[in-house]
Every structure is written in C-alpha cells, then in structure tokens.
Amino acid sequence: MTRVFEAPRELVFRAYTDPALIPKWWGPRGSQTRVDKMEVRASGVWRFVQHGPDGKEYAFNGVFREIVPPERLVQTFEFEGMPGHVLLQTVTFEDQGEKTKLTVAALFQSMEDRDGMLKTGMKEGATETLDRLAELLEKGPSS
C-alpha cells in the first residue's frame, strides 16, 4: 500500500509510534482500538485490541524488528483470530517536503496466508485506517 499524506515525515512517523495517537486512527470506522502494549524499540512488542461495532474484540500483535526514526519501521504482524500466520511488515516514510509518502509492504509466509488474510477484510480495513490517519494528520494529532 502506498499513500501520500499532507504532513511532514516526522509527524506521520510519530502517529505510527505514539501509543496515545494509535487509538485516534488505527482500525476501520466504527471500531475503537486499545493499545495493550507498545514498546517502540528493537525487539519491543506491541498488541492492539480493536472493539468492533458488532461488539466483538479483534486483537493484533507483533514485535518491532527495526526502527529508524523517522524513516522506517519493520515489525511482525499477527491477527490473533488467525494464530500462527505471521507476516513481516515494512513501513517506509519518504520525505517529500511538507508531504510524506508512506509505503507499507507485507511479506506473507505463503500465498495461502495472504489470501486468508485478504478474506478477513484486511484490504478494506487498511484503506479505511489510512483514511483515518489522513484525517488525524489534517486536524493535527492533538485533536
């Protein structure tokens, strides 16, 4: 996934790494996200729990493998509803002056894992999540 945001790179990186900001944009509309853990350092763990409009909880977790502020994050990503299917996610933040080009690349263990994750609505959820991030960056993170 690639998206250009109308915000400087440092701000976009901060939105991705500040546990106080994650609940303001992470997840599809109508859901609420709670940050259980977020240790933003190499080998640090993260876990988010999303409360959907259907009343169900959906949890996600991973481990940060590499953090190069404000350029790059590499982390594992696992949807706890599909345990054992862990992908490697690389997020790059490309400085474009007052804009930032964000690229999220996901490396799945197999084509079956990728297809299974897509069937869960991952693509739609990710698109809506980036829409919410753009809205947060427009308003300013303190909003």
Q: Which helix (H) or strand (E) holds 136?
A: helix 122-139
Q: Per the domain annotation, does 110 fall within a domain?
A: yes
Q: Per the domain annotation, does 60 fall within a domain?
A: yes
Number of domains in the chain: 1
Q: Per the domain annotation, does 143 fall within a domain?
A: no
Residue 117 has pLDDT above 80, yes or no: no
- At 93, which CATH number? 3.30.530.20
Condensed to tens digits (0 to 9), the pLDDT of residues 38-93 reads 999 999 999 999 999 999 999 999 999 999 999 999 999 998 988 888 999 999 99
Q: Per the domain annotation, does 62 fall within a domain?
A: yes
**Could you list the residue range(s) of the whole structural domain that residue 62 is in?**
2-138
User: What is the rounded CA–CA span in Å between residue 66 and residue 53?
Assistant: 33
CB 2 within 8 A of CB 101: yes
CB 14 within 8 A of CB 21: yes
